[in-house]
Amino acid sequence: MSDEYIAKLLRSIRSIDETRIMQFLEEYKAYLIDMKKYFDQRGKLIYLFDGDGLIIGDIHGDIATISILLEKADIKNHLTNNGKVIFLGDYIDRGPYQIETILFLMTLQLSHKNQIILLRGNHEPPRWLIPYPHDFPIYLRSRYPNRWRKIYELFLEIFDNLPIACISKSRLLMLHGGISVKKTSIQDYQYPDKETLTEILWNDPMNEEGYIPSYRGVGYLFGPDITHKFLDKNELSIIIRGHEPVNGYQYRHNGKIITLFSRLGPPYMNNRASIIKIPLDEPYRKGVEEIIMVTDEEVKNVLN
């Protein structure tokens, strides 16, 4: 990694060893409970008012690609200029670097408490809805053989306390999967019941009107009519979400949904990964967003 800032953060993860991790996770949990001090947080919903936003889709343990994307976005400068960074969930499961990835993101957040948000993905699961694959506890067990159960337990508590959606002054809605087809008011996202939480973490857009049960076995697929009604009713401009393996990014529902996918490598077939930079405090119109992208070739070249 060329950038000194990222390299320094990555070095600081290594100091979170078996003796330090429990203390680190307790600190992080306390921060989540305190988060109202730093953001306008109402329940599990966060309101953001100013600066540019850098928004990141699924990472699933791909720490190399996310480091390169953050460097490309000049994250150091972005943070100096009061920029915000919103991660859309799915930090773990798949690949050998998932523990490093989530600790890296938590470290980044704790060092910029009023600028960085980690939203919950379906792979940061409630105990009653574990996704497949969920190899995170297996990696914890091999890394921390003596205390992995307690460590996993703490992670699950942390996941339960992560916010699930974020709204900007420009009325962008950021979340992991999709909007609820049953609860049509954004107020219902503040203290979601199990069903609503499931929908937000698992739903996907589809091209047909209406909604149907998802092929994933959990949640729904929702049509452009549902998206347009929801945006109108809640005075929102656009939805930015992750959850689906697209080739970096994809516009859906007449440009009202942007899907971001920010990792590379198997089992997915994409050869580029993207994040987005977008103003949070001026009205959205198509073209204000800047898509920052890397290809698998570029990542290979940096690593070699």
Rounded CA separation 218/228 (Å):
23
Site for Mn ion contains 100 (CB under 5 A):
no
Rounded CA separation 112/280 (Å):
18
Active-site option among 60, 78, 112, 123: 123
In the complex, least distance from residue 124 CB atom to Mn ion, rounded to whole angstroms: 9
Site for Mn ion contains 203 (CB under 5 A):
no
In the complex, least distance from residue 280 CB atom to Mn ion, rounded to whole angstroms: 23
Measured from the CB atom, is 122 or 262 closer to Mn ion? 122
Measured from the CB atom, is 52 or 90 closer to Mn ion? 90
In the complex, least distance from residue 177 CB atom to Mn ion, rounded to whole angstroms: 6
Site for Mn ion contains 94 (CB under 5 A):
no
Measured from the CB atom, is 13 or 179 closer to Mn ion? 179
β-strands 84-87, 116-118 pairing: parallel
In the complex, least distance from residue 179 CB atom to Mn ion, rounded to whole angstroms: 15
Which single residue brings its beta carbon nearest to Mn ion? 243
In the complex, least distance from residue 175 CB atom to Mn ion, rounded to whole angstroms: 11
Return the bridge partners of 204, or none. 221
Site for Mn ion contains 44 (CB under 5 A):
no
Measured from the CB atom, is 59 or 64 closer to Mn ion? 59
Q: Quick one: which of 90, 93, 124, 204 contacts Mn ion (CB under 5 A)? A: 90
Site for Mn ion contains 243 (CB under 5 A):
yes
Site for Mn ion contains 241 (CB under 5 A):
no
- Cα maximum dimension of the chain: 53
Q: Is residue 123 among the annotated active site residues?
A: yes
- Per CB under 5 A, which region of 5-13, 112-120, 192-200, 243-251 contacts Mn ion? 243-251
114 to 133: interface string for Mn ion, x by CB under 5 A? -------xx-----------
In the complex, least distance from residue 165 CB atom to Mn ion, rounded to whole angstroms: 14
What backbone torsions phi and psi does residue 33 show, to the nearest 5 degrees? Answer: -70, -25
- Site size with Mn ion, rule: CB under 5 A: 4
Measured from the CB atom, is 29 or 134 closer to Mn ion? 134
- Per CB under 5 A, which region of 94-102, 187-195, 235-243, 278-286 contacts Mn ion? 235-243
Return the bridge partners of 46, or none. 41, 166
Measured from the CB atom, is 93 or 289 closer to Mn ion? 93
What backbone torsions phi and psi does residue 164 show, to the nearest 5 degrees? Answer: -115, -15
Measured from the CB atom, is 10 or 137 closer to Mn ion? 137
The residues, any chain, with a CB within 8 Å of residue 153's CB and separated by 6 or more, are none
In the complex, least distance from residue 89 CB atom to Mn ion, rounded to whole angstroms: 7
Query: Which residues are the active-site residues?
Result: 123
Interface positions with Mn ion (CB under 5 A): 90, 121-122, 243
